[in-house]
Structure 1
């Protein structure tokens, strides 16, 4: 999503994604370095965050800033973040997939309980400056998703610019691009042998969850997501 938004806002210039680390113009709001960089930037500013809505800056909700909220099947979130935790060196590594799944379902992970995060942010759905999109939508129809995003951001792309965005945000292109694949991150933070970009697919949870784990997760999911329209979520 970071790559897509940055490309849209830079007229899909392919030279840009080959020369600027993708995190540079879209810093993490909740980091000290990111906050300072955002303060120093000129408008329009782009920033990224995993924060719960109640921890988000109050000034945002009275501003004209636009927010794109991206969701993903929580089963795939567990799977992806399990591998991420095993790659990142500055956080405790889980001993097994089962252990990490327990942490996730208890909210004992960075940014807390996934169910609370989604419940709270979806209270913004329907507001003019808020767009909800899913990882699954990006995978299933990337062109329609990019067109939706560019319209939301008020940026009209020419056919050539649209094609350039689509080309540069493919998994293969990003995985081969050192400005996008986190290979420039210091070794003290990440195990570069394991790599940051793994598969970039949907449904990989099926190769990790046992039948018992899947059934236990489904029970918790139904309890936690009760009251929300299930057509909000494009996953089974």
Structure 2
């Protein structure tokens, strides 16, 4: 099926019909933010990782939730249908995630004390991860060849649009000290240090022992083996791990195994052109 058949269109963006509806998007716009925290990502940039991390930090390392509640109910997406079902069960401060661009956020978010953590990932690894996810996700269109998928990514013809538009929308914010930026690569390189940064931003003074416990339970291998975290509870018709595992590699730099020199040149020139004149620079070299 095509993207148009599998998606709902919302303010110019295509979103998967399987997880989004007119009602869920209305619910998101009417959602009342308080002192919550929301992790913001372009798809395949570390969303599920943050779904694991945030409740552990907010609950001082208590492991109960990660063993008893699926991650999509523990840290639900703002824009997806599941939020309305579980919202009353979320303890304040609530942990949420979103793929929304900045200008899609509801009015209450801007008027509240809610905090945002924007996770950025090298777009070359984002596209590789997304390519394999499209192969196994029955609610997304078939990706075709990697070369064909590369064109779709650069043109913004995927769910949630262009990567560059998403990053720019959140970089040009007026949230002040209510937002922090962190990279997937930073988290991979030194997860305990990243957890300390996040904890400090959220006003949590966690002990080294608690940080170590959280880091241990949020490692790729630990999450890969947890049914409440690895999406193995999702029916195969929606996510078929035989086509590609959901927890595939969880590394930085896998793009080197997929890009030809011509593809890398095309990718780099397009991204650099779209970022030209921006007041911020990307934290990776795209060459």
TM range (shorter): over 0.9
Cross-structure match for 1:86: 135
The secondary structure found in structure 2 opposite 1:133 is strand
Specify every segment of 5 or more residues in structure 2 that has no aligned partner in the other structure, as ranges: 1-49
1:1-236 equivalences in 2 (<5 Å): 1-38=50-87, 41-124=90-173, 127-193=176-242, 194-228=244-278, 231-236=281-286
- Aligned CA distance change for structure 1 residues 140 and 231 (closer, same or farther; 3 Å): farther
CA deviation after TM superposition for structure 1 residue 219, in Å: 0.7
The answer to whether the Cα contact below 8 Å between 2:51 and 2:74 also exists between their aligned partners in 1 is: no
Higher relative contact order (CA 8 A, sep 6+): 1
Distance (whole Å) between structure 2 residues aligned to residue 29 and residue 198 of structure 1: 25
- What TM-score do the two structures reach when normalised by structure 1? 0.94
Tell me which stretches of 4 or more aligned residues in structure 1 moved more than 4 Å: 229-232
The answer to whether the Cα contact below 8 Å between 2:73 and 2:82 also exists between their aligned partners in 1 is: no
The answer to whether the Cα contact below 8 Å between 2:102 and 2:173 also exists between their aligned partners in 1 is: no
CA deviation after TM superposition for structure 1 residue 82, in Å: 0.4
The answer to whether the Cα contact below 8 Å between 1:78 and 1:104 also exists between their aligned partners in 2 is: yes
Distance (whole Å) between structure 1 residues aligned to residue 95 and residue 212 of structure 2: 22
The secondary structure found in structure 1 opposite 2:76 is strand
CA deviation after TM superposition for structure 1 residue 235, in Å: 4.6
CA deviation after TM superposition for structure 1 residue 139, in Å: 0.9
- Aligned CA distance change for structure 1 residues 42 and 172 (closer, same or farther; 3 Å): closer
CA deviation after TM superposition for structure 1 residue 124, in Å: 2.4
CA deviation after TM superposition for structure 1 residue 183, in Å: 0.7
Specify every segment of 5 or more residues in structure 1 that has no aligned partner in the other structure, as ranges: none
The answer to whether the Cα contact below 8 Å between 2:185 and 2:252 also exists between their aligned partners in 1 is: yes
1:153-200 CA-partner distances (Å, limit 9, x unpaired): 111111221110010011111111111111111122110322210000
Q: Cα RMSD between the aligned structures?
A: 1.7
CA deviation after TM superposition for structure 1 residue 228, in Å: 3.0
The answer to whether the Cα contact below 8 Å between 2:101 and 2:169 also exists between their aligned partners in 1 is: yes
**Count of residue pairs brought into register by the alignment:** 236
- What TM-score do the two structures reach when normalised by structure 2? 0.78
